[in-house]
Structures are given as structure tokens and as C-alpha cells.
Chain A
């Protein structure tokens, strides 16, 4: 019986990778341009939302795969199916591409006609049985060459979008893209979802290990991880921005360019105010059953706490610079 998204046995693992970066345009895209930018298919609408913030999401596209799954225990389980990928734009400013799939615990012993896989979008079926734990760790740790690489699929979609003629390739501030890999194992029967680990790995890589009730569809888990990736990227970007600024009284040698008497700190912080500070809105696009997972990160390390401290610091600096230089120096220099 045809049941496009239910006929596969319950998923024992869902995995994905999100790429997050600043949209390389001088001005943020408005909602209409966002819809045009994300129209990956001629016959499918881009989903648009204006509350609580502008947000646009592309239709899902599929990529076929037939390769071994990454695994931590060295087993090479071959799997066949499709990986789903989509792109999203927050406030016309932050671009994310997200690729994900789910795995049932067992699959057929040989490859089936391709149409079988296409009516199960985002499902990759293993040959024989698999150990979800080993695969989850394999995905998070990165596989060997030739293993399934969802990051490549997210990256391929990102590359395709970055060639769009709507982009003038003039970003208003310096920032680095980030990658967030995630793996969601099933929660114990009756237990709710939980966030087991959030790791800041190398420079731009984050890994997230989750447990979720098997009934939750993977696109919602991907939605949660997109939201985590977006806010982690905002923190990373603003921290880097503040890192490069020299605070305190301007040195005579560091005078700004002639004709521009704004201090360096103001020049450096202004783009954050213009383009980033209004984007902080955790949980805005997270399914209600997964929203509580944010609380874990709010308790420790405290994402919103850090963000508020950064925002306060930026505002304080700008306020200081609003005070005429004469008084400022007089009061601050002992």
C-alpha cells in the first residue's frame, strides 16, 4: 500500500548537516526577493512567514545516494535512498542550507527499483541491519572518503544558491560560515526529547547529539537544528566582530580616514546593529514538542545570556561614543 512517508519501518536514526552564512548582499532581501531567490522548483511555493520575523523556506529537493554509511566501529553498511535538502533565509540576511535523512533499522538485501526510494523522500535504507549508535557517532565524527556525506549535499545547494543573480556579493560585514552536524537517536519509550551533547569542534564545526521520540518527523528535528545553528552562528559572528575592535580612547596614530571622523569602534560595530542584533529569536521556528530542548542550552552555557551581554557591550560602546569626546576622555582617563 502506498504510504509515501509512513511505509518505511520506524526510523532508528535521523541525521543531517546545516550550513549557515551571511547572505552576500549589501542590503537584506525583502520577502518578495527572498521568495524569488529560494524558488528551487517552478511548480512549488516558497513558504513565507512574517511573524515573529521574516522567514522564507525553499521547497525540499532530493539527492539520490548509494554508498556506505559512516560508522564509528568500522562496519561498512551500504545504504540506498534519498537525502532531502532545503534552504532558508532569516530576515533576508542569514542563509541556511540543511540536508537530512532518516534511517530505518533494517532494509532489503538488494537494491530496489529507484521509484521505491523516491516515494520515501528523505529515507535512506540500509542493506541488512545496522547499529544506530555506531552510525550516529560516525556521522558526527565525519566518515571516510566515499561514505555518505550529507554536508556535501548541503554545500551543493549552498553553492547553487550563491550563484543567484539577486546577490551582489558585497556583504556588509566580515563573517565566517559555520557547519552544524546533528544525529538524533530514538528516545526511550515514553521519554521526551533531550539534547545530549552540543560540541563546538574545530573552528567552524558544531555537532549536536539528540534523543527524540520516533514519531517526530525528521524535518522538524532539522528545523530545531537550523534554529540552533542560526543562533550559534549569530553568537560566533558577533564574538568575532568584537574580537577585532580596539576599544578605549583612539590613539593618535589610529585616526580614521580623513573626512570620516567616526571612531574605529563605531565603524566596526555599526554593521552588527544594522544587520544582526534584531535576529536573535530562539525557538521562533521550532516545533512545540522540541522547543524545550533550547532550555538545556539556556541553562548551560546560556546562549541568550551571552547574547545579551554582547548586545549590551555593543550598545555601551556606541553610547560612550555618542558622548562628546572632550567629556569622555576627561571622565575616563584617571
Chain B
């Protein structure tokens, strides 16, 4: 595969599993209805998607020196992640790098000012940023409500004893890695106060590390604000090539005119290819080099990823293609994600 992110090159594989036709899938049926067959567009895939950083407003406000320091710290870990991404047969692994800018929680600067600065500072550290993404794109890309669709794919991990009734302890807008403590009620007359019971991590090894993640909050006008960990989970799915909208790929890289970045973030595509010779954006695995203060967020990302029923067609495509090129991909989506946490601001 060349470095070009060409979706047509990969082709759209008509999914045959689950088709409505009575004649059975793939049996060379004479009559077909396109609306009756599930279809999943394929996306080109690298071996590794390497994230070189997240940029928040406070980082930007700290001046260009902060960016320079950031890339200098990231460089050795990025090299290590690249070196670890070996493929069988000694062939060159396909690795693409990406950088995420937060334009969702706060708006600052402009693409025209910031994008060239990032490219320059990365270059100074000997790094190339292949793709640049906007965090808003993880909430909505074009007209596709990506975050909402992903939220609709949460299948909560069932605590022991779940036999088919909906999990009783469901909390809208929150997702936990186990069972919450029972709600403590004010003791009524004639009734004893219920003693405190601890929460319980479902996959605990002897002792629990219980985590309850806020996925979104709604303001007084009913406007939904997605939480940082939830958008980061969407970002991981995008990098793993597992996001689809009605079978079509979401987060397709666009290549803007070099040197003509817009003044407004909204005019910049959700995903921009900065390096025309880059390997495909999406990959079998992801690695992110982040400062340690992101550790709680990324723990939450793992809790979310572990409870997402991602597009079956996309999962199947990744499995088939990785098997064809003998690249081992972990079963569980959360296990396809890895990190380097470095000490730093």
C-alpha cells in the first residue's frame, strides 16, 4: 500500500453477513437489493498511529517555548514507539503521526497562525506531524453527530447476576467499571441507617480500582457538552479505523492548500493531512506520547473503550486485513491502545 490515504483504493467491501435476502449471502444470487445488504466502507490502515501530543489553550498561552519543549521531550519516546512497531518479514511498518488540537472546550488562536507553528516546532525536534485533528471533530464531523452515535453504542459491562433485565444501577451520562455503592438514604424513623457498602470493580483482582466516568453534561439550555475522556475515546476509535456512519467512513483526511490555513477553526476540516507522503491515518494499533497528567483521562478512555460495541463491519475488516498481513492485533479494542506517559508539564 502506498502512503496515499485513498479510500477508493481500499474499496468498499459489500458486507454479506446479515443480508436480508433469502437466498443466503454470497451464493451468487441473481436478484439483489442494495438497501437490503449491510455495507461497510473500508479505510486504509497503517500498523501504528502515533500521537505526538494534545494542545490545550493553557499550553498555547504558555508561549511557543512550551511547544518546543514538548516536542523535544516527545522525540525519544516517539522514536522508541516507532522502533517497537516491527512487522513480520522485516518489512517497513506503516506508521503515521498525528496531533490533536483542542478547539472544543476553548477557542484560541487560529489555524493560520497555529498550524505552521506546530509543523515548525515539531520539525525543529526532528519530528513530522502527518495529520492534524480538531477535537470538535470528535463531537461532530460535518453533519455527523459522531459522539452521540458512539454514546449509542455503549453496552455496559454486566455485574454478576445480570440475566437479561436492564442493569438496574444505570446512571445517565456516567459510565463505571463496576458496581456503584448503594445510594445512602437519610435514615427514616423506625428504619436503621443502611451501612456503607463499597463500590466494586467488576474485573477486580482481589481489590477494586473503581472508576466512574462522566460522559457528558447538559447545560440549562439543553446543550450537551461531551467530556474530555469521552471525546478522547472517540479519537481513539477514529485512529483505530473503527468509526462509521451508516457504513461510510467518518474522519477522512483532507489535504488543504499548503500555506492557506483558514482564520477560523470551523473552516478547517476535522482531519487534515499535513504530509502528502504520510502513511494512512488509521491503524491497527495506537500509541500516544502524553505528559503524566493525562493518566486519569486515559484511564477513563479505557473504561469507555472497554464498553463500546463498535461497528461490526469495521471490526471484521480490521481483523481480516491484519490476518492477511500477519500483523497481530489484540482482540479487545481497549488493548489496541498504548501510551507513553512522560514527566512534564
Residues on A close to B: CB < 8 A?
1-5, 7, 41-45, 47-51, 55, 57, 60-68, 78, 80, 82-83, 111-116, 118-119, 121, 146-153, 156, 217, 219-220, 283-289, 291
Q: Which of A3, A43, A48, A114 contacts B157 (CB 8 A)?
A: A114
B residues in contact with A116, CB < 8 Å: 331-332
Known: A285-B22, A288-B22. A64 touches B203 (CB 8 A): no
B residues in contact with A48, CB < 8 Å: 20, 33, 35-36
Q: Tell me how far the C-beta of A159 lies from the nearest C-beta in chain B, rounded to whole angstroms.
A: 10
Q: Which of B17, B246, B331 contacts A119 (CB 8 A)?
A: B331
Q: Tell me how far the C-beta of B238 lies from the nearest C-beta in chain A, rounded to whole angstroms.
A: 13
A-B contact pairs, 29 of them (CB 8 A): A1-B322, A1-B328, A2-B319, A43-B150, A43-B153, A43-B245, A44-B311, A47-B38, A48-B20, A61-B309, A62-B155, A63-B158, A64-B167, A67-B160, A67-B161, A67-B164, A82-B309, A113-B203, A115-B307, A115-B335, A118-B308, A119-B332, A119-B333, A121-B309, A153-B164, A220-B24, A286-B22, A287-B23, A288-B27
- Are A63 and B24 touching (Cβ within 8 A)? no
A residues in contact with B159, CB < 8 Å: 66
A residues in contact with B172, CB < 8 Å: none
Given A1-B331, A63-B158, A286-B22, 5 more pairs with CB closer than 8 A: A67-B160, A67-B163, A114-B202, A115-B306, A119-B331
Q: Which of A45, A112, A284 contacts B246 (CB 8 A)?
A: A45
Inter-chain CA distance A62–B244, complex, in Å, is: 18
Q: Tell me how far the C-beta of B178 lies from the nearest C-beta in chain A, rounded to whole angstroms.
A: 10
- Are A152 and B164 touching (Cβ within 8 A)? yes
Q: Which chain B residues numbered 297 to 336 have a C-beta less than 8 Å away from chain A? A: 305-312, 315-316, 318-319, 322-323, 328-335
Q: Tell me how far the C-beta of A1 lies from the nearest C-beta in chain B, rounded to whole angstroms.
A: 6
Q: Which of B164, B244, B305 contacts A63 (CB 8 A)?
A: B164
- Are B164 and A66 touching (Cβ within 8 A)? no
Give the interface size bracket for B toward A.
35 or more
Q: Which of A2, A66, A147, A286 contacts B318 (CB 8 A)?
A: A2
Q: Tell me how far the C-beta of B255 lies from the nearest C-beta in chain A, rounded to whole angstroms.
A: 25
Q: Which of B22, B38, B145, B202 contacts A291 (CB 8 A)?
A: B22
B88 within 8 A of A: no
Q: Tell me how far the C-beta of B221 lies from the nearest C-beta in chain A, rounded to whole angstroms.
A: 21
- Are A47 and B37 touching (Cβ within 8 A)? yes
Q: Which of B36, B310, B316 contacts A47 (CB 8 A)?
A: B36
B166 within 8 A of A: yes
Q: Tell me how far the C-beta of A176 lies from the nearest C-beta in chain B, rounded to whole angstroms.
A: 23
Known: A41-B153, A113-B332, A115-B334. A62 touches B33 (CB 8 A): no
B152 within 8 A of A: yes
Q: Which of B164, B309, B323 contacts A3 (CB 8 A)?
A: B323
Q: Considering only CB atoms, which chain B residue lies closest to A6 in the complex?
A: B319
- Are A41 and B306 touching (Cβ within 8 A)? no
Q: Which of A2, A68, A156 contacts B330 (CB 8 A)?
A: A2
